[in-house]
Structure 1
Amino acid sequence: MPSVTRLICLANSWKHSDRCIAGITTIKGQWIRVVSDLPDGRITKEMRQIGGTEPALLDILAIPLAKTGPDYGFESENLSVLPGKWERVGQVTPAYLLKHCSKEEYILHNDLRHVEVPYLQSLPVPQRRTLELIKAVKVSVRPLGTKYEGSQKWEGTIVTESGKKLTTTITDPVFVRKLDLGYRPKNPCLVTVSLSMPWRPDDWRGEGDPCWKLIAGVVELPEEHQQNIESKNDLDDLPF
């Protein structure tokens, strides 16, 4: 029987015509990106859907995973999906995730929109971070005027508590659908930032292939949490 890993889903984002599924383990808060044996590791509908529905952000998923996975030469979080049924076994609150927000100086390694592969390869494997949960005190969005997967393509700008800013493409399909319908976030948000597979634009002048930072998951913090966020010391345990 394959090993089952419990994962808090923090990204179910577009990856070509399929999805990238990623999150943190319920035990150690370790990042995992679920990858298939397809060339770029994308997860198909047949692999990921549970009872005909998509895994949602904040869901606790039980997924058959191997102990290792392809790193594509620069990633550290990948585990290969194994045959077997995915299950939804619970859900966490947005407030539970606050303790897992990044405390790094930059949003994924630098203050640029990309990270070059040679830089990632120069780091020890555990430091090759390609996923990060950011507490954004401000999130603004704008439509780009093009369509993707039947939806408007959107760009978002996030600002951290320390003033770091990132403007990049939004690949969270649920968030994009809400934006299409007129929703705009008013409160601080928890934002999953992910690095893309390497992609070199025609006008690229850098030395190494760039991986682009993407807004892969967005969860708005409920208003009631804003009033107590600084004073609350202990968060509820996982709701198993």
Structure 2
Amino acid sequence: MPVVEIICLANSIKWGGRCVAGLRTDGQGWVRPVSNSRHGSLDNRHYKLPDGSEPRPLDVLRISLRNPQPQPYQPENWLIDNVSWQLISRSASCNVINIIQSYTESGSLLFGNTSDRVSFESLSQNPTRSSLALIIPKNLNWYMTTSIVGKRQIRAQFVLSGLPYNLAITDPLWIKRLSSLKYGYHPLSAAGVSKDEKIRLVISLGEPFQDGYCYKLVAAIIILPDLCRNRF
């Protein structure tokens, strides 16, 4: 039952619960803690911290894990143990920023293509090596539309290495922040964000949906703090 410290980089909406993911502080990469529920989603009793709060991006957490539970579409999954999570720090240090920088990807293809989805059938035959990516988007803007289940959905449009993407946002903080936008396209500034901010997106490959696809999701939108910003 390993105990790991991670930099929380996502606490996103998943099947009525949450999907938490982060980078290990020991340099061993991504971890996505999951429960033994049908879809592996976490509820409040799993991720609630001792002070009553929930994990936020850039928090350093100590988590007890039971065993790896890789899936063809999510190789980073680990089953959680029944031990309360601990908050180690809530103020990003230069060490935290350095780790984030070292895992920031520059490739153009997210999980093999530029679409917003990957078929579960193809993943079953050729499992992905990673289902989490930390990127620096260019030309980021917002698009309010209707989802395939008929609900309002906010999406992020951006360019990565010259290729365009349009992905649904599942970060609850940013969904709330952008919830008042009207249908259609909106500039980055509509969220009160300057183009000079150091924005990172955490992209996650979701669970298989009923249509047979795993969708790429913007699981977190992170603005790096002023600390160490001039170095990157």
- Match 1:120 to one of 120, 123, 137: 123
Deviation at 1:60, TM superposition (A): 0.7
2:222 paired with 1:214: no
Give CA deviations for 1:7-42 in whole Å, capped at 9, x if unaligned.
Answer: 111110001211001111111151111100000000
1:61 touches 1:86 (CA, 8 Å); kept in 2? yes
Name the counterpart of 2:39. Answer: 40
1:68 matched to 2:68? The reply is yes
Q: Residue 196 of structure 1 aligns to a residue in which SS?
A: strand
Separation in 2, partners of 1:130, 1:114: 12
CA distance in 1, matches of 2:217, 2:115: 12
Q: Does structure 1 conserve the Cα–Cα contact (< 8 Å) formed by 2:65 and 2:80? A: yes
Per the alignment, residue 184 of structure 2 pairs with none
What runs of 5+ residues in structure 2 fail to find an aligned partner? 181-189
The reply on whether 1:185 has 2:193 as its aligned counterpart is yes
Select the residue among 98, 101, 120 that pairs with 1:98.
101
Shift of 1:157: 1.0
Partner of 1:16: 15
Q: Taking structure 1 as reference, are residues 26 and 33 closer, same or farther at Cα in structure 2, changes over 3 Å only?
A: same
Compared CA separation, residues 223 and 165, structure 1 to 2 (3 A)? farther
Match of 2:208 among 178, 198, 218: 198
Shift of 1:227: 5.6
Cα contact 1:134–1:191 (8 A) shared by 2: yes
- The structure in which a higher percent of residues are strand is 2
Please state how far the C-alpha of 1:215 moved relative to its aligned partner.
Answer: 0.4
The 8 Å contact of residues 40 and 197 in structure 1, kept in 2 or not, is answered as: yes
What is the root-mean-square deviation of aligned Cα atoms in Å? 2.6
| Distance in 2 between residues matched to 1:178 and 1:95, nearest whole Å | 24
Answer whether contact 1:137 1:189 (CA < 8 A) is retained.
no
- Separation of aligned partners in 2, 1:152 and 1:7: 32
CA contact (8 A) 1:37 1:80 kept: yes
Gaps of 5+ in 1: 202-208, 230-240
Return the alpha-carbon distance in structure 2 between the equivalents of residues 155 and 173 of structure 1: 13
CA distance in 2, matches of 1:30, 1:67: 16
Shift of 1:109: 1.6
Q: For 2:105 and 2:152, how far apart are their aligned partners in 1?
A: 29
- Identical amino acids, percent of aligned pairs: 25
Matched residue type, 1:11: A
Indicate conservation of the 8 Å contact 1:137/1:188, yes or no: no
Shift of 1:141: 0.8
Question: How many angstroms does 1:72 deviate by?
Answer: 3.9
Partner of 1:205: none
Structure 2 residue identity aligned to 1:61? L
Give me the whole-angstrom Cα distance separating, in 2, the residues matched to 1:67 and 1:77.
Answer: 11
